[in-house]
Amino acid sequence: MNVILDLGFILLAGIFLAKFIRKMHFPAVTAYLLLGIFIGPSLFNLISPGIIQISGLVSNIALGFIAFSIGQNFSIVHFRKIGRSVFWISILEACGAWILVTLLFYFLLRQPFYISLLFGAISAATAPAATVMVVREYKARGIFTDTLLGVVAIDDAWCLIIFALSFAVAKAIYFHLSGNFFLLRVLMKALLEIGGAFILGGLMAYFSSLVSKFLRTPTELLVYTLGFIFLNIGLAIAFHLSVLLSSMVLGMTLVNINKSSFQFFDILKSVDSPLYLTFFVLAGANLELKLLGQIGILGMSYLIFRIIGKMSGAALGAAIAKAVKPVRKYFGLALIPQAGVALGCALIVKANFPEVGGMIFTALIATTIVYELVGPICTKFALKKAGEI
């Protein structure tokens, strides 16, 4: 039960394995997930049960950090810059994956609607880190690259909104909320959860901005930022609201009401790397290998349907926005990577749906590893076909 020893081992093993796997041109998140699988209870069982027990705490904090950082991209100034193409492509590729995966899981694979809805909602997410890594590595430049960076910056925000709505509906169905006005009650519950998350995040941003002018040193700023993020996460959990959505709204509101809000996001970057590393390793450690045999057709279907949904939605968005030809033809290929937000959503599902959560989470871990191995290669191919490498 020596959790501190486990944490030390995870951090050191994670950083060295990431350096090794980068030489093979794979993203670091792949190394963290593989490390978690190898040292977790399903394989070599090299870590104590205590570290697995705190994975819920680590994931809530990490997801709060991730969502808070995503909120930065929702500034009014940023939206004016990114333009029509980014808006239409981002919202339609996210909705394309969500709708296609949900419908095909329900009608073709005959899965219960709440399971189909959860898979569909999680499929909307993309992994900006892997995409940005490829762009930087090959020094890509041009309209395609600028559009891609804009889309991946706000894509996960659409996913959080889609997931919050889908999760509330799925929970209502799963726990047999039925009777008169069933649909109305489900929608009201979903709107209360989403509305509550928006109110909480907005209030936290207002109060944090109000007092921030009294901060004098970077240390005070770091402690203050962490305090408000933790307070927001804790209140969201206490009131049964979405941690992801409330944290995103906190960042989104802060960046629009505080002219020096960039300092909150910049100071967080100095401490978030070890947390993200631990989060991904523990996500891998939570994989239940015994369930892999049950998800063969589901996992393969998710892999294929999500890609088709992303590509179709991106092509439709590019056509509506009258984007340049390379964007219309190849953009969907650059959106295949999937990691942080998707795994976070899957962990929330695992915690709230005891009978099927493990199966959904295992399917998402397995497909995430495939996406993180194949995705960067597809992104590079798309950039090359667009003539920007």
Domain residue limits, the chain: 3-385
Per-residue pLDDT at 186: 67
What H or E segment, with its residue span, contains residue 165?
Answer: helix 143-174
What H or E segment, with its residue span, contains residue 11?
Answer: helix 3-22
Q: How far apart are CA 337 and CA 307, in angstroms?
A: 10
Per-residue pLDDT at 240: 82
Backbone angles phi, psi at 44, to 5 degrees: -90, -10
CA atoms within 13 A on the CB side of 84: 7
- Cβ atoms of 323 and 77 within 8 Å: the answer is no
What H or E segment, with its residue span, contains residue 376?
Answer: helix 357-385
Per-residue pLDDT at 287: 75
Given the structure tokens 């901005």, which residue do they identify?
A: 209
End-to-end alpha carbon distance in the chain: 50
Pick from 183, 34, 166: nearest CA to 102: 166
pTM of the model: 0.77
- Cβ atoms of 371 and 337 within 8 Å: the answer is yes
Per-residue pLDDT at 103: 94
Q: How far apart are CA 377 and CA 380, in angstroms?
A: 5
Residues 109-120, buried b or exposed e (16+ Cβ, 10 A)? eebeebbbbbbb
- Walk along the chain (389 residues) in steps of 10 and give the mean pLDDT of each run: 87 90 75 86 85 84 83 74 79 92 92 91 81 76 82 79 85 68 68 85 91 84 92 92 85 86 84 85 79 77 91 91 86 84 84 83 83 81 88
How big is the chain by its Cα radius of gyration, in Å? 20
The CA distances from residue 380 to 62, 90, 316, 375, in Å, are 28, 19, 22, 9
Helix, strand, coil shares of the chain, percent, nearest 5, are 80, 0, 20
Q: How far apart are CA 101 and CA 104, in angstroms?
A: 5
Neighbours of 361 (CB within 10 A): 26
The CA distances from residue 319 to 88, 89, 205, 255, in Å, are 9, 9, 37, 31
- Four-residue CA torsion sign, 122, 123, 125, 130: positive
State whether CATH 1.20.1530.20 applies to domain 3-385: yes
Pick from 206, 184, 209, 328: nearest CA to 260: 209
Q: How far apart are CA 45 and CA 36, in angstroms?
A: 10
Given the structure tokens 């991946």, which residue do they identify?
A: 152
